[in-house]
């Protein structure tokens, strides 16, 4: 008889972990949904020096322009004419107000201007040009 009573007490003393696991999974989903992902250009460029360079916050879209005129977005090369469509796609995934252009110091001014025109055609976005301090 005493043995049966001890078994019942052991069964009642078990801690139910289900509510704690539910809270952990809800927190995990919350952090995944609220995380911001930066869309890097995908290449490194030799940026010109700038004495008055400032750090910009909340930029999620980076466009890199190489010295030979190649334009890179989201780790792939794109045509200058397709920059606007790619920006719209990236804005649909994660809205932002700032687009940063990382132009090589050997990049032609005309290519940079075409990219800037494509950005302005997309909407009311602020354009920043990256430089090294």
pLDDT > 90: percent of the chain: 27
pLDDT of residue 94: 83
> Residue 50, SS3?
coil
What would the pLDDT profile of 40-72 be if each residue is shown by its tens digit?
666 667 666 666 666 666 677 889 999 898 999
pLDDT of residue 24: 94
pLDDT > 70: percent of the chain: 73
For residue 120, pLDDT over 70 is answered with yes
> Residue 77, SS3?
strand
Asked whether the beta carbons of 99 and 119 are under 8 A apart, the reply is yes
CA 15 – CA 96 distance, rounded (Å): 46
Rg (CA), the chain: 26
As to burial, measured by CB atoms within 10 angstroms (0-12 exposed, 13-18 middle, 19+ buried), residue 63 is buried
- With cut-offs at 50, 70 and 90, classify the pLDDT of residue 15: confident
Identify the DSSP state of 14. Answer: P
> What does the block give as tokens for 26?
């809800």
Distances (CA, A) of 129 to 15, 63, 65, 104, 119: 58, 10, 11, 10, 12
pTM (predicted TM-score): 0.63
């Amino acid at each position: 008889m005493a043995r049966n009573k001890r078994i019942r007490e052991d069964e009642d003393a078990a801690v139910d972990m289900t509510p704690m696991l539910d809270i952990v999974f809800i927190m995990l989903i919350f952090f995944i949904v609220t995380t911001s992902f930066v869309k890097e250009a995908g290449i490194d460029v030799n940026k010109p020096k700038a004495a008055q360079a400032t750090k910009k916050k909340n930029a999620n879209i980076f466009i890199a322009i190489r010295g030979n005129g190649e334009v890179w977005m989201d780790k792939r090369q794109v045509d200058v004419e397709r920059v606007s469509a790619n920006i719209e796609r990236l804005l649909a995934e994660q809205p932002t107000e700032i687009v940063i252009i990382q132009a090589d110091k050997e990049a032609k001014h005309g290519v940079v201007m075409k990219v800037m025109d494509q950005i302005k055609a997309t909407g009311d976005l602020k354009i920043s040009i990256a430089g090294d301090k």
